[in-house]
Amino acid sequence: MTEARLERAWPAAGAELPRTPVSHVAPGSATRSRRIRVAVLTGAALALLAGGAAVRWGGDDRPDTPVAAGAVPTTGTEPAVSGPEPVSPEMTAGPTGSVSASPSATAAQPSRSVSPTPSDDEGGLSVGTATRAPVRSAEPEPSVPDEEPPVYTAFYGYQADPGSGYAGTVQVVNAGGAAGGDWTVTLTVPGAEKVVLTSGNVRMSQSGSSVTFRPAGGAELQVGGSVTIGFTIDGVPGELPTGCAVNGSACA
């Protein structure tokens, strides 16, 4: 097969070679054409050298690319990757010996967090909700103080004269907070001498040595009011009356 190719490439001995036509060109035009071709080839070579240098050193002339927050800065032509790092695929061998790449894990999806809505228990109100008017508790009615009962005090006095006998007085005063007529004045006459009522809107009763005075007809003593009882004893008693009291409280 090689010999056949050589026979086709070279003509047989004695064969006439093809003639190449020769054009007659002026000597000056051939020199100009050669110069033009040399200039064109030189320019093309320079352009190729300049392009290669630009491709080789073009990365250094580019401005610095700002790196976003969270991105990993890279060099060369590798793009910056932000977020989770890509998972490298695992290399598995197929049954025919070829190696195929299969991803071992899926890319992580970003999760969204839900912020809790403030509730009424935390002291806040959600937007758009109506506020509840404060409920006022009914104010208690002022209590009327209980009316103070009447308080009675008594003042006892006497005058003893051997010529005129014995004369005594008892003044009852209501020093309480209300009017009243339920008072009683008691007096003891040791010799059981007769006692005569001389003044005062009162009723008198005597049993032996015990003498009692009470208001007449249910008369009441107003707050701060008073009544004066006057009485006498016939002759001069052997012992002066004692034991003056009003409702059990000793007379002053």
CATH number, domain with residue 240: 2.60.40.290
φ, ψ of residue 36 to 5 degrees: the values are -65, -45
| Mean of per-residue pLDDT scores for the chain | 71
- For 136-169, write each residue's pLDDT tens digit: 777 777 676 677 899 999 999 999 877 778 999 9
The arrangement of strands across the sheet holding 152-161 comes to 152-161, 165-174, 226-233, 195-199
Q: Hey, what are 99's tokens?
A: 């190696």
Q: Is residue 29 part of a domain?
A: no
What is the rounded radius of gyration, in angstroms, for the C-alpha atoms of the chain? 72
Between residues 59 and 251, which one has the greater pLDDT? 251
Can you give the pLDDT at residue 202?
96
**Is pLDDT at 206 greater than 90 in this prediction?**
yes
**Is pLDDT at 204 greater than 60 in this prediction?**
yes
Question: Containing domain of residue 205, as a range?
Answer: 152-250
**How does residue 246 score in pLDDT terms, banded at 50, 70 and 90?**
very high
Q: Is residue 177 part of a domain?
A: yes
Q: Is residue 160 part of a domain?
A: yes
**How does residue 217 score in pLDDT terms, banded at 50, 70 and 90?**
confident
CA distances from 149 to 178, 180, 182, 215 (A): 6, 8, 11, 17
Instruction: Let me know: does 158 contact 231? Beta carbons within 8 Å.
Output: no
**Is pLDDT at 104 greater than 50 in this prediction?**
no
Total tally of structural domains belonging to the chain:
1
CA distances from 80 to 50, 63, 68, 70, 103 (A): 29, 15, 9, 10, 21
Q: Is residue 210 part of a domain?
A: yes
171 secondary structure, DSSP code = E
